[in-house]
Homo-oligomer: A and B are copies of this chain.
Amino acid sequence: MKTLSFTFAKRFDQVSGSAIREIFKVIAQPGMISFAGGNPSPDALPDDVVREIASDVLRDDGKTLLQYGATEGYAPFVSSLKSYVTEQLHCDIPAVLPVTGSTQAMDLLCKALIDPGDTILVENPSFLGNLQCMKLYQANIVPLKSDDEGIIIEDLEEKIREYHPKMLYTIPTFQNPSGKTLPEDRRKAVAQMAGKYGMVVAEDDPYRDLRYTGSALPSIKSFDEEGWVMFLGSFSKIISPGLRIGYIAGHPDIIRKCTVGKQSTDVHSANLNQAIVDQFIRRNLLPGHIRKICVNYGEKMNRMLSKLSEFPGEVRYTKPQGGLFIWAELPERMNAKELLNKAIEKKVAFVPGTHFCIGGGHENTMRLNFSNSTLEQIENGMDILKNLVLNEM
């Protein structure tokens, strides 16, 4: 194949091949214990139920499902989804749009709102996929200061005044990658700041239902009196990521722009996939399924936390009440990338935290996923990591 002199768009100037993708290639070996991904456990994927539902919906409404659908969504799903989201968030949801995974929600929000150079405030570290999305919209990505409970509100207000941001992107519950959860008073404050300064908040909350201890917190959206908060939801962690169904909920003017953007992005999300999620809601299958997942994941999280407590005292780590990730900080002199290389030799993998950090740095940090390993793998893998860390002390 001849090398041609394609001139790619400037939006790719800041975006290179993802280092994480390279890690995933290296660790895709048999026998690897991987704390690197963010995948649901295979046990948590309801293949038999999906198979039964797919058969039912294709029997009952096959012609409609295989035909073009509306960009606004498959009508029965739009209806069940709206009720579901309203009930989940305990607040009025004026409009909702089914999307092709909540990643598309972020893409459409950026498409609707972000011109090159517009500022988006983000937690630091944050979710890599959506940081890449913001870069492709040539946003000015400004990191916020955090403490153990997430965004520091004083810093948020300072940065709003300094940068006049178009948007705040936050994962308030069991954040990826830090595992942190924003407390209720700060959620309220974020919503108030949004209204006070006229800033859209993208509240990305895919881990919300994966709570293993403690009590659910109200969403930022539930404190949103004016309509600046857009809620990004996903069925990836509670049904299946492979189906690619998520949603965006909030002010109808923004939903309308996202809908127009979606028309020329993928026309509509696949009807069959919307109908499958619709049946999970209508048949009331989610509460029982989520309970089952939470028991499974909670046990794994506790096992990993218990193994981390055996690490040298200098190793700090978050103690989430749910989600998929624990964030660990090694002593500052240690380098998590070097540790990863040694770990991979012993067939254990994780993601160095620096990859999630705006502008890099934080070389001593690591993200550990527990959902996609067995208890035995967690035992063995964490022992290997502990010994590697001990060797560096």
Contacts and interface: CB of A to CB of B under 8 A. Distances in A.
Contacts of A62: 45, 47-48, 50-51
Nearest to A239: B66
A11 B51 contact: no
Interface of A: 1-12, 15, 17-18, 37, 39-40, 42, 45-48, 50-51, 54-55, 58-59, 62-69, 94, 100-101, 103-104, 106-107, 111-115, 118, 129-130, 132-133, 136, 166, 198, 200, 226-228, 236, 239-244, 251-254, 257, 260-261, 263-273
Given A66-B241, A67-B240, A226-B4, A132 B40 contact: no
Chain A to chain B: the 8 pairs with minimum beta-carbon distance, closest first: A47-B62, A133-B264, A66-B240, A51-B58, A45-B66, A242-B271, A100-B266, A132-B264
A130, A198, A200, A270: most-surrounded residue (chain B CB, <10 A): A270
A225 B308 CA distance: 58
26 contacts: A1-B252, A4-B198, A6-B113, A6-B251, A6-B253, A8-B112, A9-B112, A45-B62, A47-B62, A47-B63, A50-B62, A51-B55, A51-B58, A51-B59, A51-B62, A64-B242, A68-B241, A68-B242, A100-B244, A100-B266, A101-B266, A107-B266, A133-B264, A136-B261, A243-B272, A270-B273
Nearest to A195: B4
A260 B19 CA distance: 12
Given A59-B51, A240-B66, A1 B227 contact: yes
A67 B3 contact: no
Given A12-B112, A47-B63, A136-B264, A244 B269 contact: yes
Contacts of A239: 66
B67 A103 contact: no
A40, A51, A114: most-surrounded residue (chain B CB, <10 A): A51
Contacts of A55: 51, 54-55
Contacts of A264: 103, 106-107, 129-130, 132-133, 136
A254 B257 CA distance: 28
A114 B264 CA distance: 15
Given A39-B68, A47-B63, 11 more contacts: A3-B253, A6-B253, A7-B166, A9-B114, A45-B67, A54-B58, A67-B242, A130-B264, A132-B263, A132-B264, A241-B267
Contacts of A39: 67-68
Contacts of A266: 100-101, 103-104, 107, 244, 266
B51 A15 contact: no
Nearest to A17: B260
B5 A198 contact: yes
